[in-house]
Structure 1
Amino acid sequence: MTSVAVLGEAIVDLVPAPDGSTFTAVPGGSPYNVAIGLGRLDRRPLLLARLSGDGFGAMLRRHAAASGVDLSSAAASDAPSALAVASLDGHGQASYEFYGDLSADWVAPRKPLRLLHFGSIASWHGDRVREFVDSVRAAGTLIAYDPNVRPGLLGDPAGAVAVIQERIHLAHVVKASEEDVRWLYPHVDPVTAVRGWLALGPSLVILTRGSAGTVSFTSQGVHASRAARQVPVVDTVGAGDAFTAGLIDGLLARDLTDPQALGALEALALVDLLERAGTLAELTCARRGADPPTRAELDAHYAGWLQRSAAGA
């Protein structure tokens, strides 16, 4: 059985130079970034996305292949690659304007999946994504979801909530950022809102809060949190996607692809999952752009941490 697949958009980010005079094209799209993160962790994920035959599409293919992503389920397209023009604020936080077709297309996987991650822009369009996710869920695949809200594309929060909650109903694991949840539910505390998602069916919900750390809840009432570590932040581009890749890697490493077992996780195991995912995000923040670490880099980080801890003991 193939371990993991990621469904969604693969796009090109146009990132401005500090003076705004030029832009650099870099591979992007939240699901694409998650696939890159998993590939660098040696998970060989299937990417279920549309890839153009233009120059940008070739760049996306090269970057994915070099990162260990399986492109056998990526659909070829004659349409131009979709673009996201990025703006960075003084804290390295990115916002985007989007151009082109942002829907998903893919070639059906040849083998069953243990885990499917979907979300972001492509998950909001039409019925095909919903129907596919529903079908693989029925076949026993664990479903992970990140809404990755883009206000400029979703319109008003009230209408977006209905779309997002329909997707949450399909998922066993839901991860969302505090920024996204505040936009969706402006009059509700984000922790309360995310905890309320458990009533829609997930086994595990996670809220990432940037420098405030991470909180999580299971369907069996277990709560766990992780404080963020202080790291030199270059920018936050791709940090949330790196977190998702780290979370999925942790689930696969522990063979946690059964929803009931996931919902029954004890707090210590849940903290361990958050630790791995949070570390991936922090290492990504310390680098420019969506550049998640490899398995070797992650292992080296932990080895260095153990050495420093032993020296300080």
Structure 2
Amino acid sequence: MAKVFASIGECMVELSGAGDGLYRRGFAGDTLNTAWGVRGLSPDDAVSVRYVSRVGTDALSDEMVRFAAAAGIDTAHVGRDPVRTVGLYMITLQGAERSFSYWRDAAAARRLAADRGALEAALADADMVYFSGITLAILPPEDRPTLFTALADARARGAVIAFDANVRLRLWPDADAARAGLSDGYRAATIALPTHPDERDLFGDRSPEATARRIAALGVPEVVVKDGADPATLFADGGLTSHPAERVDDAVDTTGAGDGFNAGYLAARLAGRSPVEAALLGHRVAARIIRSRGALIGLDALAAVAAGA
């Protein structure tokens, strides 16, 4: 029987530069990016990838759902909101580095945890559940306990719970609220996938090792700290190890690199590979993504990475 990977969060309309002042429209979002990556890296008969979210009933929402479904992602647990729609973000590039502008206040995904029964049903048979700090930040505070209860129930049934803080301070009332909310996210997880510069800026960690130890102290047994082009720091089986990133001299866009690393890491762990092997696959996926524009690369390209090409 295929294992079930469930990713919870928000997919948005993406506008990325196409040259001459034009923009290319696509769909992306941290948790959808990772779900896409796990789909492309995993055999169809071994892993079922599910997206758990909420969109509107408008044409653009319909197109977004069709886009995910066409990639082989199960969208049966993407709820519909008759009032809200989907959010939008625009990527601005300076060299290969990017910045983002967002329009998401009316996003239906903000209500993805409003229906407790639907959320519990979406996770009922999941072997691995992935969510992010953005998932938490966009929810009304009164809905977050519903999400945490569903995650705790899934964990009690034996599911792996994976979390990337993906710090976006503008989505939180203030830094204290962000620290509290993201720490709760880590406490819910069995695998943590933080990014050191984000954690350093918010929590004051002086090194990736310090980030790993702080998060492990919250009760997370497996932590892999991303650090851009620098090595990833892995805490597993009670010890710390370092794993160099793949060198890339022709990067064009770093959008989605962290989400791709997460996809590689989680796909490998779901397939029964070791944390060290998972970190290496994560690096390979991230290296491939930053050679292309936008957050997503083709499923065939991901399959080639999984095959070692």
TM range (shorter): 0.7 to 0.9
Write the letter of the residue equivalent to 1:103: R
Name the CA distance, whole Å, in 1 between partners of 2:66 and 2:249.
30
Equivalent pair of 1:16/1:22 in contact (CA under 8 Å): yes
1:196-235 alignment, distance < 5 Å = 196-235=214-253
Q: SS state of the match for residue 255, structure 2? A: coil
2:297 is the alignment partner of 1:284: no
Write the letter of the residue equivalent to 2:31: P
Name the CA distance, whole Å, in 1 between partners of 2:38 and 2:307.
21
Please report the TM-score for the alignment, with normalisation by the length of structure 2.
0.85
What is the aligned counterpart of 2:101 among 96, 101, 106? 96
Deviations 1:235-262, CA, capped at 9 Å, x for gaps: 01111111111111101111x7xxxxxx
Residue of structure 2 equivalent to 1:23: 23
Deviations 1:270-297, CA, capped at 9 Å, x for gaps: 3211111111111111111112353x53
2:100 is the alignment partner of 1:82: no
Please report the TM-score for the alignment, with normalisation by the length of structure 1.
0.84
Name the CA distance, whole Å, in 1 between partners of 2:167 and 2:126.
26
Which has the larger displacement, 56-65 or 223-232?
Answer: 223-232
1:178 is displaced (CA, Å) by 2.3
Equivalent pair of 2:205/2:211 in contact (CA under 8 Å): no
1:256-295 alignment, distance < 5 Å = 269-294=274-299
Equivalent pair of 1:231/1:286 in contact (CA under 8 Å): no
In structure 2, stretches of 5+ residues that fail to align are none
Equivalent pair of 2:284/2:305 in contact (CA under 8 Å): no
Name the CA distance, whole Å, in 2 between partners of 1:184 and 1:28.
25
Aligned length: 290
Name the CA distance, whole Å, in 1 between partners of 2:111 and 2:206.
31
Residue of structure 1 equivalent to 2:135: 122
1:1-313 alignment, distance < 5 Å = 2-18=3-19, 21-41=21-41, 42=44, 43-78=47-82, 79-99=84-104, 100-101=106-107, 102-105=109-112, 107=118, 108-109=121-122, 111-124=124-137, 125=139, 126=141, 127=144, 128-186=146-204, 188-254=206-272, 269-294=274-299, 296-298=300-302, 300-301=304-305
Name the CA distance, whole Å, in 1 between partners of 2:133 and 2:19.
27
Name the CA distance, whole Å, in 2 between partners of 1:57 and 1:240.
25
Which has the larger displacement, 190-199 or 135-144?
Answer: 190-199
1:82 is displaced (CA, Å) by 1.4
Name the CA distance, whole Å, in 2 between partners of 1:15 and 1:215.
31
C-alpha distance 92-58 of structure 1, shift in aligned 2 (>3 A): farther
